[in-house]
Structure 1
Amino acid sequence: MNFKIILRLMFLLLTSFSVAEAQDNKLKKATDLMGHRFLTFNTVIRVNQIEVSRNRNLGEDERALHTPARVIAFRNSLAEGFPGGKMTWSFSWLALNDTTSDYRKIRNLVVGYHYKYGDDVTFIPGAYFANAYNTTKQVNKDVHDALKIISRMVGNGYRPLSIVAGFMSAANQQYLAEKEGIHVCQGNIWSQFSIDNQDGDGAVVYPFYPSKEHFCKPSQNKKDFIDCVNLDGWSVDFLAGRREGFKDGFNSRMGVGPIETLGKYGNETGLKEMMHTTAIHFDKGFALNGFGWVTNCWELSLPYDPVSLKNWLKAIRKRWPDTKLITQGEFGLLWRKHYKSNSFNYRFVERGSGIGGSDANNEIRWFMNKDFRLALLKDWKNNTSEKVIDFTRYDLKAHEPKGMTRKWSLLGVINQKQSRPQDKPILIDSLSAGARAIIAARYKYLIK
């Protein structure tokens, strides 16, 4: 063989290895948690508004709102707004089992999206509020049986990477991890209190491993550790989120969700608030935490033009072009790969948007770690003193309700919702000596 040809082949071979190695390194780098901005997006497909159990419903029948045409328009909007992005589809028990033509077609469409886009297909027990209406044992059975249905439906040995739950008790998350082998659960709706059908304030807003004592409490050690990454339901504006339900005429759930933004304020102002909430995490939050995460749930039945979804996604890509839209299961597993325990130290700073309950004159700072969460609020325009509006200790014993109830919150020394007399905001120096010592161990600069 010609010597020049041999040299050329060797060069091409070495080059191909170099390119392959570079691609592998790029892939590894792209799948690291730190240094990246992540967006997760899921939807809920159900038959009734609130399917509290397999055979009991509350609210309206939503069959007419769930059509193949709506599914197609919805997924096309995501594909056009964020090419290459992936999402999570969650089916209720009835939506998995409904035999009418529309629901059969919807299930086939979503399975096709899994193979076309890499979307995750999963289950939502109880349509958000499973533990308010079902025993722990029943929730486990619903999850087990639904996962079998989904595996058959998708085929090829498929198992979802996560569960969508709204709220899910510690015992159910432990079952999910240990018996079903699923290690990511959208298991808390951060700051939810006095709104919808279940309360669950008191958790950490970014991912954490829950304690066996309470799903809102981060695990403290190996003894109470649950190997299930607990995710928030949708990102909210911190200033709006400190309110109790609809107090003062505002919606405490306002953030990136369409109901509280597009539905309340219209497309232009609604998008402005959605982008404001996104920026909390992708600008200052990214700088403070080393990564940023925004999550959203947009129920398929909501009466909003999917074009609004496309506009939000396009705006995100334009402002933060490095953003990665992946399934919530993929994101949770990235977090799990990076954090082997609750060694996180999350910090956030927000000045209000001036929309709804996001007061333009206020600044809020949040500090969250496995020992406690702390929120400080001040009027930055009038230069008022910063006060503690939430101090929730996680090093103390916690208990979940024993029966079925809406009250699943973990309320600390001071809670942001101000639903109790003890929740009146105070100066940080007015906290007990023990509380100040715990804070100083983490953030010495906060204590004089």
Structure 2
Amino acid sequence: MKIRILLHLIACILIINTGYGQQNHSANALMGHRFLTFNTIIRVNQIEVSRDKNVGEDERALHTPEKVRQFREALEAGIPGAKMTWAFSWLALHDTTANYQQIRKLVVAYHKQYGDEITFIPGAYFSNAYNTIEQVNQDLHDGLARVTEMVGNGYRPLSIVAGFLSSKNQEYLANKEGIHVCQGNIWSQYAIDNQDGDGAVSYPFYPSKEHFCKPAQGKADFIDCVNLDGWTADFLAARREGRADGFNSRMGVGPIETLGKYGLATGLKEMLHTTAIHFDKGFELNGFGWVTNCWELSLPYPASDLTKWLQAVKTRWPDVKVITQGEFGMRWRKHYENNRFNYRFEETGSGIGGSDADKKIRWFMNDKFRLALLNDGNKEMVIDYTSYTQDAQEPASGSTRNWSLMGEINQKQTRPQDKPIPLHDLSDQAKKEIRQYYPELNL
């Protein structure tokens, strides 16, 4: 009897110390759960370069109280009890027209009713492509203060939405504003929209002080801000440059590249295919699954399309948790105190757009490197090896659209060195790093 009691106590200690068993049974855990995070952007101009300069179209007519109501009702109809994140641009926070005043009141009411997160987006996605680090910091400070004023009772969001955000600005968020979650990279984006940022890890990580796409390599390099992807992309589609071969490299769960391109039936099929990469095999490999989507309020798709996707997700994965972006990031932060993650993903193409049905892709992502292997049915080749142990440097703010972190070989194949190669043809240093993490690859 004493031996049994002793063994039981040892087992309990092991569960507590590893954290995995304990967190699986916790309502606020990361491991053992499937998460969907969902946000929308409310803005006045398509791209608000700065507080007083715009690029693109005026979108006032596309933002109405009625559209906000329909949007929020569609989310609730899809998955009752779901929470979401609302991100307001600078102009949307300050516009004095009746529509925007009503929209702000509506969203504050949703925060109180559903627990939604309300936050700020600097520059409408691409702030560092146009502004200095100092200006972005000032925008973050003043924008967050305006959100607090709007919501009342000292409210502060747990996260911000940014599209891309430099490491220096993420460090400011953590150290000066006390915000430790940032949607700060759009995984694999290159030659799309107004800024590039390929080279990061697709799941959460703590960024390096050198570059927002690089995971921190130690305490001296560490920024306590969980860096999140913008929306989940199909890995096979994402390996392309921009719209190469006539396909959109951003295709995944986003409505523009799916519903807008292929219509509801085929678009929904692709959205569910991308979701399944993370909720089926990805969940098995990583111990949790995460899908994230940004559905801009100005988009011309019926709110009922959103409901249909969410209902399909809930039917197939009834345990899915739809929480705010900030809540998800803080769960990850609680589980991972540093970059000791090791993510793996596997996909066979859907046959839609750039998701080639005859190809398979495997991704390996950790704090030291990311590695992608593409199989065309005959052989498996390396299409990306990006080492994070090498020095990195961000460009000067406002100087360029290209903020990518390119490694030894990059999936976009924009350089002569990016031609796919056999695993054994990688550099000796690359092979050494890979052996330490994945000895099963037989290098």
TM-score (normalizing by structure 2): 0.94
Whole-Å separation in 1 of the counterparts to 2:81 and 2:42: 22
Q: Residue 434 of structure 2 is aligned with which of 431, 439, 447?
A: 439
What do the CA deviations read for 1:385-424 (whole angstroms, capped 9, x no partner)? 1000000000010000024210100000000000000000
**Residues 1:413 and 2:408 aligned together:** yes
> Aligned to 1:367, what secondary structure does the other structure show?
strand
Match among 158, 178, 182 for residue 179 of structure 2: 182
> Which of 419, 422, 440 is equivalent to 1:424?
419
Residue 91 (structure 1) aligned with residue 88 (structure 2): yes
Instruction: Please point out which of 110, 114, 138 is paired with 1:117.
Output: 114
Q: Which has the larger radius of gyration?
A: 1
1:392 corresponds, among 381, 386, 390, to 386
- Output the CA distance in 1 between the equivalents of 2:265 and 2:37: 22
2:33 corresponds, among 22, 33, 36, to 36
Distance in 1 between residues matched to 2:131 and 2:427, nearest whole Å: 39
Give secondary structure in 1 for the equivalent of 2:26: helix
1:67 deviates by 0.1
Superposed counterparts of 1:17-416, under 5 Å: 29-380=26-377, 384-404=378-398, 405-416=400-411
Cα shift readout 1:241-265 (whole Å, capped 9, x = no counterpart): 0000000100000000000000000
How far apart in 2 are the matches of 1:123 and 1:244? 30
Residue 268 of structure 2 aligns to which amino acid in structure 1? L
1:445 deviation in Å? Answer: 1.1
Amino acid at match of 1:390: D
Give the Cα separation in 1 of the matches to 2:117 and 2:286.
27
Distance, in Å, in 1 between the alignment partners of 2:439 and 2:191 is 34
Q: Which amino acid aligns with 1:439?
A: I
The normalised TM-score by structure 1 is 0.93
> Which amino acid in the other structure matches residue 437 of structure 1?
K
What's the offset of the Cα at 1:447?
2.7
How big is the shift at 1:434? 1.6
Quick one: structure 1 residues 120 and 28, their matched pair in 2 at CA, closer, same or farther if it must change by over 3 Å? farther
- AA in 2 matched with 1:447: N
Instruction: Compute the displacement of 1:112 (Å).
Output: 0.2
Residue pair 2:24, 2:31 contacting (<8 A) in 1 also: no
Quick one: distance in 2 between partners of 1:98 and 1:335?
A: 35
SS in 2 for 1:279: helix
Cα pair 1:345 1:367 within 8 Å, conserved: yes
Name the SS for the 1:176 alignment partner: helix
CA contact (8 A) 2:24 2:32 kept: no
Instruction: Count matched residues.
Output: 421
Q: Counterparts of 2:211 and 2:332 in 1: how far apart (Å)?
A: 21
Unaligned ranges ≥5, structure 2 = 1-21
Aligned structure 1 segments of 4 or more residues deviating by more than 3 angstroms: 25-28
